Amino acid sequence: MKPIQSFIVKAKLPERIEKIRELAFNYWWCWDSDAKELFQRMNRQIWKDVHHNPVALINQLSQKQLEDLAKQHDFIYFLDEVYEKFQKYLNAETWFNQQGKLAHNCIAYFSPEYGINESFPVYSGGLGVLSGDHLKTASDLGLPLVGVGLLYQQGYFRQQLSQNGWQNELYPINDFYSLPMKLMQDKDEKPILINVDLPQGKVYAQIWQINVGRNSLYLLDTNIDENEILEYKNITDQLYGGDRDTRIQQEILLGIGGMRALFAMGIEPSAIHINEGHAAFALLERTRMYMLQYNLDFYSAMQITRNSSVFTTHTPIPAGNEAFDVPRMGKYFS
C-alpha cells in the first residue's frame, strides 16, 4: 500500500545552536576529536544508542533538551570553537592548491562500499574502510575527488549469536532521512534520475550526496517508484547480497550508472580511480561517452580512457572478485 502523503520531520534547533546541523551533515566530525566530543556532550547515552549518528542524535533530543543546550554557556563556547575549526579546515591552503596546473582537474573514485563511520553501515570490512580513508585523506590533501557508490537499504548484516552459539544475520533497515546526506535535485526540485538498460527494461536510480570534509560522495539508490519491477528496486537492497544476476546488476549500476550520474550533475572527471573490479564497467561507459562527445572511434576513445584511469585492488584473490560467465555477460551486454 502506498502512503497518501510523505513528509519529513526535522528537529527545530534554537538559532544559537543551529550551526550544529551543518557540523552534523559533514563527516569531517568523525576524524576530529573535538567535534566528536561536542556531540557526546549533547547527550552521551543517546549518542551511544544511535551508534554515533549526529543527525539521529539531534532528532531524538526533545525540544526542551535542545533549548537547554542553547542556554549552556560552556556548550555554546565549545560549539563556537569547533565550528571555527571546521571553517578553517574547509578554507585552509592545501597541498593540492599549490599544484597550480592541476587545479581544475577532478578525480572520480568508484567503490562498491565506503566505511566512513559506523553510523553509516554501507560497508563490510577492509575494502570499505580503505575507501572511506581514501575520501578522508583526499579531503585533507585538498584533492578534488568525488566518490561514487551504491546506497544500500539494508547495508551489510550485523552479527548476533543465538542461545546455541550459532551466528544469525540481522539486516537493519537504513533510514536515509536520519543519516547526514541529501537527495540531489534538479532546478525544479525534483530528484535527479539516471537509468541503465537491463534485460527486462530500464532501471532508474536517484542520487544521494554525502559531505566528507571538502569532498562529496554520491550514492545511487534504486528503491524508488520509477522501478516497477521488484527485482530492480532491490538492486541496492544489500551489499554483496542476492544471486549472480543481482551482483552483475549492481556492478552495471555502479560502473555505468555511476558515470551517468556524474554527467547528470555536470561533473566530468579528468581521471577515474577504480577501487577493486566491481566498478570495471565504468571504463566501458567512459569510453562510450568519449566516442559520442568527441566523435572518436572506439580505439581512440579507449586510449584516452586507458591513459586517465587507475585501478587498485584490495583483495587480489578469486574470492574477493566477481567472475561472470560468457552467457550471463551476453545476456546483459548484447
Q: Which residues contact 14 (CB under 8 A, 6 or more apart)?
A: 66, 67, 69, 70
Of 175, 322, 315, give the one whose Cα is nearest residue 244. 322
Question: Rounded distance, CA 286 to CA 295, Å?
Answer: 13
Question: Rounded distance, CA 205 to CA 202, Å?
Answer: 10
At 239, the amino acid letter reads L
Question: Rounded distance, CA 123 to CA 117, Å?
Answer: 9
Domains plus CATH for the chain? 15-92 (no CATH), 101-333 (3.40.50.2000)
Q: What pLDDT is stored for residue 97 in this prediction? A: 86
* Burial class of residue 145 (count of CB atoms within 10 Å of its CB; 0-12, 13-18, 19+): buried
Q: Write the DSSP assignment of 254-308 as a string of letters.
A: IIIIHHHHHHHTT---SEEEEESGGGTHHHHHHHHHHHHHHT--HHHHHHHHHHT
Question: Rounded distance, CA 288 to CA 297, Å?
Answer: 9
Number of residues assigned to the chain = 334
146, three cell numbers:
568525488
* Burial class of residue 114 (count of CB atoms within 10 Å of its CB; 0-12, 13-18, 19+): buried
304, three cell numbers:
584516452
pTM: 0.93
137, three cell numbers:
585523506
182, three cell numbers:
541529501
60, three cell numbers:
531524538
The pLDDT profile of the chain, 334 residues, written as one tens digit per residue, is 445 555 556 678 999 999 999 999 999 999 999 999 999 999 999 999 999 999 999 999 999 999 999 999 999 999 999 999 999 999 999 999 887 766 668 999 999 999 999 999 888 888 999 999 999 999 999 999 999 999 999 877 777 888 888 888 777 788 898 999 999 999 999 999 999 999 999 999 999 999 999 999 999 999 999 999 999 999 999 988 889 999 999 999 999 999 999 999 999 999 999 998 999 999 999 999 999 999 999 999 999 999 999 999 888 877 777 889 999 999 999 8
> What confidence tens digit (pLDDT) does each residue in 53-85 have?
999 999 999 999 999 999 999 999 999 999 999
Q: What pLDDT is stored for residue 332 in this prediction? A: 94
Q: Write the DSSP assignment of 45-94 as a string of letters.
A: HHHHHTTS-HHHHHHHS-HHHHHHHTT-HHHHHHHHHHHHHHHHHHHS--
Pairing of strands 145-150, 215-221: parallel
- Counting Cα atoms < 13 Å in the Cβ hemisphere of 235 gives 31
At 192, the amino acid letter reads I
